[in-house]
Amino acid sequence: VYRVEDKEGKNTDINQKIEYLFHPKSIAIVGVSPDTTRVVGGRVFLNALINYDYKGRLYLVNRGGGEVHGLKLYDNVKDIPDTVDYVISAIPATFTPQLLLDCASKGVKAVHIFSAGFSEITDKKGDNLESQIKNIVRQTGIRVIGPNCMGLYYPKTRLTFLPESPTQSGPVGFMAQSGLNSNIAILEGSTRGVYFSKAISYGNACDLNECDFLEYFMHDPETKIIAGYIEGAHDGDRFIKILKEAAAVKPVILYKAGNTDYGAGAVASHTGTLAGSNKVWEGLLKQAGVIQVYSMEELLDAVLPFIYMSPPKEKNLGLIGMGGGGVVQAADECAEAGLRIPPLPLDIRQKLEGIYNSETGASFRNPVDIYWIRSDLTRKAIEAVAEYELFDLLLMQITLFDTGQIWELMVKPCLKAIASLSNEINHRTAISLRSVGEAGFSAIALEEQRALAEAGFAVFPSAARAANAIIKFMDYHQRRGTAADVPALI
């Protein structure tokens, strides 16, 4: 469904322009100090690539020579006795134009400029340096990612900027004008079962920009969902045109930052980008069919249903919980978001009473407040609720905390039972999983969250966030008339 049937996989211009960036046979990192106590600068990328087991050939460049990790430090990129596909530059901004000229004469195809100190600074020197880079790009044909960014993440070729990157690939193509937000997407994503085809942190975007990356993702067969953090557009008309085309063929989820005057000021200081009017952006994104979100947290939330759920036809929710107060809050939050929570019919309520050998019928009305004491009963109860044909979707509200034996002997096996249910109901079930309490237990709870995601469930930190994401997911499919029979991606 999210396929560009007539375009996908073809060697379009944009494919040629971007695709090779992700497949460098050799990389040179420029600006790696031989001082082993230094952990920033070029070291960030060296450590990341070594840790992530980058499969290509790795070269290091630093004026003055020496050796790091048994790798020779070349004085200049031109001294490397091999072809160099891709260069990561962590040298001061001032020296960057000369490096680009050296790279061009060496035959390097693309340079990722990590260094800051360009158009984002108040000093005119920054603007001048960025102009020089643009000129060199025009004159030599070399391509630039950045400056002021973290560059590329591609699990398949073990390309990364993060030492602890997930090795698993996924359906989401992510682009961001922020390195931090790229880290957040990749790391937070992995605990929630959101994995990436590719991620691109592109900073000031003085050459390749959001238009290029968006167009690339639109055609990329590995990317089924496009998500991005943008601070503005470097070529507004082209961006809107490509956004429309991309949103027509794949879900596009965008966090456009700098919504407020103060946020726009922060954007100018961050990447030197003009944030533009919030009202105008909201209109444009809506018109283009883009799903707009307002934080990195919401971005990941919004992606989840597109991976794990098939779109509910209507808004009738079966709400299953653990503990009255939690269920009440979840009911309020789901209702606020626009979901309906219609009562279960008598026969299913009686079935639940039978399962628990219980007389407390009220808590089986919907919301259904079941007892998390025996995994076989939890499984049966959820199956009984899921049987009701009026329910378009289910939500489980679960709060984890350390209750000693109750956690070990009762709640934990119930979570396992839910994971084992997955093939039957996971595509129409969201889970709100909250954990409270001390550090040791929070790690246990995060492992449970990961296990539920691995079992194919969309897991959220609260019912409010689940409901918000699901409503956006439903609106998207309703707008397109595709709610009827879209399968989940996973």
Residues 422-461 that bind a second copy (CB under 8 A): 434, 436-440, 442-444, 446-447, 450
Distances (CA, A) of 367 to 327, 330, 339: 7, 9, 12
What radius of gyration do the chain's Cα atoms show? 25
Selected from 5, 6, 359, 485, the binder of a second copy by CB under 8 A is 359
- Shortest distance in whole angstroms from residue 407 CB to a second copy: 10
C-alpha 477/C-alpha 311 separation (Å) is 7
Q: Which two tokens stand for residue 173?
A: 């193509």
Binding span for a second copy by CB under 8 A among 95-103, 134-142, 304-312, 337-345: 337-345
Selected from 81, 141, 404, 481, the binder of a second copy by CB under 8 A is 404
Amino acid, single-letter form, for residue 406: I
- Choose between 177 and 197: whose C-beta lies nearer to a second copy: 177
CB atoms within 10 A of CB 256: 23
Per-residue contact flags (x/-) with a second copy for residues 311 to 330, judged by CB under 8 A: -----------xxxxxxxx-
CB atoms within 10 A of CB 175: 25
User: Would you count residue 345 as binding a second copy (CB under 8 A)?
Assistant: no
User: Would you count residue 376 as binding a second copy (CB under 8 A)?
Assistant: no
User: Would you count residue 34 as binding a second copy (CB under 8 A)?
Assistant: no
- Choose between 48 and 80: whose C-beta lies nearer to a second copy: 48
C-alpha 197/C-alpha 170 separation (Å) is 5
- Shortest distance in whole angstroms from residue 226 CB to a second copy: 18
C-alpha 140/C-alpha 91 separation (Å) is 21
Q: Contacts with a second copy in 117-146 (CB under 8 A)?
A: 117, 120-123, 125-126
User: Would you count residue 263 as binding a second copy (CB under 8 A)?
Assistant: yes
- Choose between 26 and 191: whose C-beta lies nearer to a second copy: 191
Selected from 124, 405, 423, 481, the binder of a second copy by CB under 8 A is 405
C-alpha 6/C-alpha 9 separation (Å) is 9
User: Would you count residue 15 as binding a second copy (CB under 8 A)?
Assistant: no
Distances (CA, A) of 138 to 20, 117, 135, 208: 19, 21, 5, 12
Q: Contacts with a second copy in 181-240 (CB under 8 A)?
A: 181, 183-184, 187-188, 190-191, 229, 231
Phi, psi dihedrals of residue 438, rounded to the nearest 5°: -70, 165
Q: Contacts with a second copy in 52-111 (CB under 8 A)?
A: none
- Three-state SS at 269: helix
Q: Say if residues 247 and 288 touch (Cβ distance below 8 Å).
A: yes
Among 396, 428, 416, which residue's Cα sits nearest to residue 326?
Answer: 396
Q: Which two tokens stand for residue 58?
A: 């790795």
Selected from 58, 104, 240, 268, the binder of a second copy by CB under 8 A is 268
- Choose between 28 and 331: whose C-beta lies nearer to a second copy: 331
- Shortest distance in whole angstroms from residue 98 CB to a second copy: 19
- Choose between 108 and 344: whose C-beta lies nearer to a second copy: 344
Reported as type and span, the H/E element at residue 218 is helix 210-219
Selected from 462, 480, 489, 490, the binder of a second copy by CB under 8 A is 462
CB atoms within 10 A of CB 116: 18
Residue 137 region by backbone torsions, left for phi larger than 0, else alpha for psi between -120 and 50, else beta: alpha
Binding span for a second copy by CB under 8 A among 1-9, 76-84, 245-253, 405-413: 405-413
Q: Contacts with a second copy in 273-302 (CB under 8 A)?
A: 294-297
Q: Which two tokens stand for residue 312?
A: 């509910």
Distances (CA, A) of 396 to 327, 347, 367, 429: 9, 21, 10, 8
Total site size for a second copy, rule CB under 8 A: 98
Binding span for a second copy by CB under 8 A among 18-26, 76-84, 364-372, 417-425: 364-372
- Choose between 101 and 410: whose C-beta lies nearer to a second copy: 410
- Shortest distance in whole angstroms from residue 295 CB to a second copy: 6
Q: Is the peptide bond before 367 cis (omega within 30 degrees of 0)?
A: yes
- Shortest distance in whole angstroms from residue 6 CB to a second copy: 35
- Choose between 224 and 351: whose C-beta lies nearer to a second copy: 351
- Choose between 332 and 454: whose C-beta lies nearer to a second copy: 332
**375 forms bridges with which residues in the sheet?**
none
